[in-house]
Amino acid sequence: MKKIGITCYPTVGGSGVIATELGIRLAEEGHEIHFITSSLPFRLNKVYPNIFYHEVELNHYPVFQYPPYDLALATKMAEVIDREKLDILHVHYAMPHAVCAILARDIAKHEVKIVTTLHGTDITVLGIDNTFQKMIKHGIEQSDAVTAVSADLVRQTEEMLQVNKEIEVIYNFVNENEYYKQHIPELKKQYGIQDEEKVVIHISNFRKVKRLEDVIQTFFKIQSEVQSKLLLIGDGPEYTNAVQLVKKLNIEDEVLFLGKQKNIRDLLSISDLKLLLSEKESFGLVLLEAMACEVPCIATNIGGIPEVVNDGETGYIVELGDTKRAAALGIELLQDPEKLEQFSQNALNRANSYFNSESIVQQYIELYYRVLN
């Protein structure tokens, strides 16, 4: 049994989900898990006797212009390392979490190993602003082991930072007990969707990089040929623009804005096709969630996406901004029941084999033991 600390942004999309699911799985394997985060990870719904949560508290001292969150986190990490005698501190994101972990390791008396997982956002930040380049590089190089969620993210990190550190690919996974296709035709009815209508779905945090306008334009073309509805799940900065575009295209009756939803499995279970047309995506966890629920995906040839979606087998890969091709492929697939069924099965098989949660959790465990030896 090992004692493992985990730090992530508990409420931020895929990285928070992966960090939490990994913590749960490690706890189920008998390890003792200590989440060191700003709030309770949102997937932590059940009580586990060997999972502990240490909240990073932030007092607002009038003397500081900005509350020093990173220092509060490092202090909390050092405290937990010493008190709980952590073997491993696994942090998600080099900036700020790996940097905080390095500071905590320096402060703590107990020896701990730091494992950092890169999710891509560090690289996105660097693409916009170089200020933090040295900081991120330091966070990576001073970690005892570093993983990234796709081979493309390893390539990008090496290219942008010239890091002197081996970065291992460990893909993301989904909890197969949570993500599987349900037979719930009544849900379609409840949303006012006819039996014969196809359902296209998009799930994201509606950030600009998710290119919501491309999703809507693609669907606009699809619905002109195939009777269908678009489910837009999520919320974020691009929400208003998306609503306006839907109005402008006069497809308000065909597009359902459902906001943030907890039960993604049920919504995927009534969907026939998933669109993810992002301009940046180190992995695209939502694609894997869709595949586990037997939904083929059309996604862009960006970042780690082609490592998740197998072009022409579990869905299609299109170039960024090519909504015409995305729509043509979507129409062809939705109009061909046999092919659609084959793609759905291929998607499920790929999710269960290539991204099998047990084998991925095992890869992390092996890495921990390697680092400790």
Provide the binding-site residues for ligand GMT, judged by CB under 6 A.
12-15, 18, 119-121, 124, 149, 172, 205, 207, 209, 280-285
- Minimum CB separation of residue 303 from ligand GMT in Å reads 6
CB of 308 to ligand GMT, least distance (A): 9
Cβ closest to ligand GMT, residue 282 vs residue 357: 282
The dihedral of CA 57, 59, 63, 64: what is its sign?
A: positive
Q: Compute φ and ψ for 298, nearest 5 degrees.
A: -110, 125
**Closest among 59, 55, 97 to 80, alpha carbons compared:** 55
The distance of closest approach from Cβ of residue 278 to ligand GMT in the complex, given in angstroms and rounded to an integer, is 7
Rounded least distance, CB 97 to ligand GMT, Å: 11
Task: Give the N- to C-terminal CA distance of the chain in Å, as an integer.
Answer: 14
Question: In b/e form, how buried is each residue of 76-114, taking b as 16+ CB within 10 angstroms?
Answer: bbbebbeebebbbbbbbbbbbbbbbbbbbbeebeeebbb
Nearer CB in complex with ligand GMT: 84/238: 238
Beta carbon of residue 323, minimum distance to ligand GMT (angstroms, whole number): 20
Pair type for strands 51-55 and 32-37? parallel
Nearer to ligand GMT by Cβ, of 14 and 296: the residue is 14
Q: Which residues pair with 6 in a beta bridge?
A: 35, 90
Three-state SS for 6-59 is EECCCCCHHHHHHHHHHHHHHHHCCCEEEEEECCCCCCCCCCCCCEEEEECCCC
Side chain identity at residue 66, one-letter code: Y
Beta strands in the chain (DSSP E): 3-7, 32-37, 51-55, 88-92, 113-118, 145-148, 167-169, 198-203, 228-233, 255-259, 273-276, 297-300, 315-318
Which SS3 state, helix, strand or coil, does residue 162 take?
A: coil
For the CB of residue 249, give the shortest distance to ligand GMT in the complex, in Å.
25
Two structure tokens written together for 149: 């969620």
- 367 touches 114 (CB < 8 A): no
CB 306 → ligand GMT: shortest distance, Å? 13
> Of 75 and 124, which has the nearer Cβ to ligand GMT?
124
Q: Which is nearer to ligand GMT, 111 or 159 (CB)?
A: 159
**Amino acid letter for position 107:** I
Distance CA 202, CA 181 (A): 17
Q: Kindly state the smallest distance separating residue 119's Cβ from ligand GMT, in Å.
A: 3
Could you tell me the smallest distance in angstroms from the CB atom of residue 283 to ligand GMT? Answer: 4
184 contact partners, CB below 8 Å, separation of at least 6: 266, 269, 270
Distance CA 243, CA 261 (A): 18
| Rounded least distance, CB 279 to ligand GMT, Å | 9
Q: State which residue, 119 or 137, has the beta carbon closest to ligand GMT.
A: 119
